[in-house]
Amino acid sequence: MKYTIDAENKPLGRLAVEVAVLLRGKNKADYVPYKDVGDTVVVKNVDKIKYTGNKLENKNYFRFTGYLGNLKKTTLKEFLIKKGPREVLRNAVMGMLCKNKLRAKQIKRLRFE
């Protein structure tokens, strides 16, 4: 099944929870954690997501280059400029999916319009 979600004026976290539940298939009666029974999710109007509070200045994204002392830190505002709102939502959903082999299959079913 294919779900279409309109992201206009929805907070980032609540939208990410909704998408993650559909990708995992937790809304289905035959859900089991070790099977991939989720559906395809298409998100529209990703550029109109609402960021509540002071997240643009206070929320940080970290990445490690692999070298000593090279932990890179960027704020949400810088991340939006560099990567775009699609990657922000994708990153939020990735954090809510199980950290195992199923996550790669599940995140591939997330599409943007």
Which amino acid belongs to residue 98? C
**3-class secondary structure, 50:** strand
Polymer length in residues for the chain: 113
For residues 5 and 8, give the distance between their C-alpha atoms in angstroms, rounded to a whole number: 9
Beta bridge mates, 31: none
Q: Please compute the mean of the pLDDT values over residues 8-37 and round it to a whole number.
A: 96
Render pLDDT for 34-86 as a digit per residue (tens, 0 to 9).
999 999 999 999 999 999 999 999 999 999 999 999 999 999 999 999 999 99
Tell me the three state secondary structure of residue 74: strand
Predicted model pTM: 0.92
Percentage of residues in the chain with pLDDT exceeding 70? 100
Q: Collapse the DSSP code of 23 into the 3-class scheme (helix H, G, I; strand E, B; otherwise coil) and give the result.
A: helix
Over range 10-24, report the average pLDDT.
Answer: 97
Distance, in Å, from the CA atom of 12 to the CA atom of 35, rounded to the nearest integer, reads 27
Provide the pLDDT for residue 21: 97
Q: What is the mean pLDDT of residues 30-37?
A: 94
For the chain, give the percent of residues with pLDDT over 90. Answer: 99
Tokens of 80: 């939006």
What's the mean per-residue pLDDT of the chain? 96
- Determine the pLDDT at residue 106: 96
